[in-house]
Amino acid sequence: MSDKKRLLIYLGLTFSISFAWFFIANPDRSTWEGMGNMRQSFVALGMMFPVIGNVLTRVITREGFKFRGEDNSYFGISFKDKKWFYYIAACLIPWIVYEAANAITLALAPSMFDSEYYLSLDIEKRMLVLFPVYAIVTGLVVSFAAFGEEGGWRGYMMPKLMKIMNRPAALIIGGIIWGLWHAPLTCIGHNFGTDYPGFPYVGIVKMCVFCTLLGIILTFVTEMSGSVWPAAFMHAIFNSSPSILQGFINSDKAPDTFLGRNAGFVGMVLALLTVDIIIMVKWRKIEKEGK
């Protein structure tokens, strides 16, 4: 069976199961904010379906679950050939990106700076210093949900896409697919809320941009380490938003301009873009040295 056919089976399975779940798990069509923490976690269990899609596709197409070589499942872990470096990088990159994104946000909209905002979050100032470490540790411990996504997107979709087309095209299309998969959640206000011009279409486009930029970093660490685990750790830590600066950013004080309303998103995009450029240059260099 061709890789293209396998990929289509995977995408068909993952999208249909996930969308069905997002529909069933929210029977009264509540918004993300309106459903409360407990149900948010329940709906978010849909994160497990990309890896379930991977397993089902491998069973259906009789591809198997190899841990090494071509078409391997990327589920194994190896620290040989300095691969441990990517595990450490996976833990630290989210922190660096978040701090850089928040710094850019404040530079774009200085009125958002609130020296006592963290108090409204019931956090002491000295606890704020510890927060990134806490977020990294809890992100690592509770990384199973992120593994659910990465085991599918980075463990199956990206390797297949990179076989079908060249790497830049695969990274962009992979990011768009990943962003579209979030559409049912974006439509109920996940990530961007419901109160913005162009809801929900603008939110879906923003999610696709964010997923493409983040996907480049996640695919890089997966390819370099030969495992989806660094990507899963990175994704989990990203979801815990490790940052000290965010305790000083009050979005209610954002100026009522286009840039002011989108300062947080623009900050994150610029921070991710910088890391992506560094990674693409490094990737090309590694490939040239390999050849």
Partner 1 sequence: MGGLLYKDFISIRGKRLVTGFSVLTLLMIIIKLIVASVGTPSGLMVENDEGEVFSFLEYLISVPAQMMPIILLCFISNWVPNVLKNDEKSKIHSFLSAMPVSKSTYIAEKYVFIGICIYICFSLSMVWNIISMAFLPDGFVLDLLMLYSSIFIELFSLAFIGATIEFPVFVAFGKEKGQMIKTAILEVIACCVTAYLFFGDLSVFEKVDIGEIMEWAQTHSFALMFMAALSPLITLALYYISYCISVRIYERKERDYE
* Residues in touch with partner 1 (CB under 8 A): 24-25, 27, 38-39, 41-42, 45, 48, 67, 76, 124, 126-127, 130, 133-134, 137-138, 140-142, 144
Between residues 33 and 124, which has the closer beta carbon with respect to partner 1? Answer: 124
- Least distance from C-beta 28 to partner 1, angstroms? 9
- Least distance from C-beta 182 to partner 1, angstroms? 19
* Residues facing residue 21 across a β-bridge: none
- Least distance from C-beta 175 to partner 1, angstroms? 27
Between residues 27 and 290, which has the closer beta carbon with respect to partner 1? Answer: 27
Between residues 121 and 281, which has the closer beta carbon with respect to partner 1? Answer: 121
- Least distance from C-beta 25 to partner 1, angstroms? 8
Between residues 131 and 210, which has the closer beta carbon with respect to partner 1? Answer: 131
Report the b/e string of 66-78 with b at 16+ CB within 10 A: eeeeeebbbbeee
Asked whether 250 and 192 are in contact (CB, 8 A), the reply is no
Asked whether 57 and 10 are in contact (CB, 8 A), the reply is yes
Q: What share of the chain is helix, strand, coil (3-state, %, to 5)?
A: 75, 0, 25
- Least distance from C-beta 66 to partner 1, angstroms? 10
Strands (E), 137-216: none
Asked whether 95 and 237 are in contact (CB, 8 A), the reply is yes
Between residues 24 and 259, which has the closer beta carbon with respect to partner 1? Answer: 24
* Cis-peptide into 94, omega within 30 deg: no
Angstrom distance (rounded) from CA 188 to CA 74: 33
